[in-house]
Amino acid sequence: MQAASESATSSAGPNVDARYDVAMGSLTVGQPYHLRVVTADGIVAEGDAIVPAAPPPRTLAERRFDRTRDTLRLVWPRATGARAYEVRVLTQRDSTGRGYVDTPNGRVYLPPGDFVTYVDTSVAINGTVRRNDVPVFLPGVRYDVIVSAVDDHYYNYFAHDSDPYTPTALPSSLRGGVGVFGAIVPILRQSIVVEGSFPAP
């Protein structure tokens, strides 16, 4: 059993984005883990998860990417216990966690909007793909592409398309609470640099 205390936040209001740090070694694949949270007023929330048995993570060589004619294609081996595979395309981050691009006229911060999809053991992302009618790949920007194996609980919670106009709740894997206790294991990573120059700010 490992105990964890709630980390303080800088906000003066309720700690709605609470984080709990647990000091422990590496997790064992295929082994069940149990979560039990007891709040100050006695509410108990519990969950269970099993870490997928993924192969050792690989880092591919950085590549140049022409968004007008290239397609990002990746393939990886199946991981025992994985429900699906999360493919996340993130802009390069600074120390504050914000995406940015350096231009001759200074650093430009990019609006949030990582591209995320859930697939089987391969993915093909066209360079012209758009998210919310905005291009995913912008010229002159460096991206990290991370593929991770996820378990049933993680997939059911994060891949669920909730409808804001109905009272349908997100599928929770917790007993006595709402949220998710699941497993995600990174298995593949690649950095890509999109050809071209970012428009001057």
Q: What is the pLDDT of residues 163-201, one digit of tens each?
A: 555 556 677 888 988 888 899 999 999 999 999 888 765
Q: How many CB atoms lie within 10 A of CB 194?
A: 21
CA angle 121, 125, 126 (to 5 degrees): 150
pTM exceeding 0.85: no
Out of 18-27, 66-75, 124-133, 182-191, which region has the weakest mean confidence (pLDDT)? 18-27
Rounded Cα–Cα distance for residues 63 and 65 (Å): 6
Domain ranges across the chain: 6-194
